Amino acid sequence: MEHAAAHPRSRRTTKGSENPLSASADLRDRSDELFTAFWEHPFLEGLRDGTLSHERVLHYVGQDHEYLSAFIRCYGLGLSLSPDRDWMRFFHDNVTFLLEDETHPHHALCAAAGVSYAEAQVDRLAPAAQAYVDHMMESARDTLGVMLAALLPCPWTYIWAGDRMMTQTPPAQDHPFHDWWAFYGSEQCGALLRDFRDRFDALAADAGSAERRRMAQAFEASCHHEVRFWEMAWTLEDWVAPRSASSLSMGN
């Protein structure tokens, strides 16, 4: 995909090439191991092969519903940072997408688990999900560029994974999670990601060196949080204190 060029000060070149990477492509290149960890996590593997347990599906849906509500609040902060109506329209449209469209994959997962969407709701974020939200909200109170840097890995990892699945090994229509994969592998989601990246690249081009460092740090942190969100869902993480090795050995 071609995107707006990054500012010359933030450009890197690919090995054996003189072609510069955009700011977003540069960060994606630096975070390749985290994208791979995202793809290879057993939670996503369970979504790929259709074996993910109902309890893990429901734990994920409840946590992701609350996480995306926080994402919408970040977009609200983005509206207050918007320099013009074009940016306001961007945040308005993306709030609408989250409220009206991105509930579809949640409903698809609930249908596969045989429960209603309402039954999957929770009233508290798990520790890893709360840490991710805290990171996003802190970034959203920085500059517009830092906020987008913290938000970008969420759509990018999902849409990248969805496109990879639908392109390489598209699930059969009777796959329990077919609609989840089809949503994130859709052209609608691809267009959303391209616009998000173009806007991020434009902001990076205008940012000073200190802001670009914060943007890079926010992006990397969110990539880590994405992998940990899978782990949270896979382990059914909650606020119950883990049992220590000593207590387990004593049979407590």
- What amino acid occupies position 127? P
Query: Residue 51 burial (CB < 10 Å; 0-12/13-18/19+)?
Result: exposed
CB 151, CB 223: distance < 8 Å:
no
Of 28, 60, 30, 29, the closest CA to residue 42 belongs to: 60
The confidence score (pLDDT) of residue 7 equals 31
Sketch the domain layout of the chain as residue ranges. 21-237
SS3 of 13, please? strand
In the CATH scheme, what is the code of domain 21-237?
1.20.910.10
Please tell me whether residue 194 adopts helix, strand or coil conformation: helix
Residue 91's Cβ-side half-sphere holds a number of Cα atoms within 13 Å equal to: 22
> What pLDDT is attached to residue 21?
87
Segment 73-131, tens digit of pLDDT: 999 999 999 999 999 999 999 999 999 999 999 999 999 999 999 999 999 999 999 99
Each residue of 3-49: pLDDT tens digit? 333 333 333 443 433 456 899 999 999 999 999 999 999 999 999 99
Q: Minimal CA–CA distance to 137: which of 234, 213, 250, 221?
A: 221
Q: Are 189 and 120 in contact (CB under 8 A)?
A: no
- Closest by CA to 204, choosing from 156, 143, 124, is 143
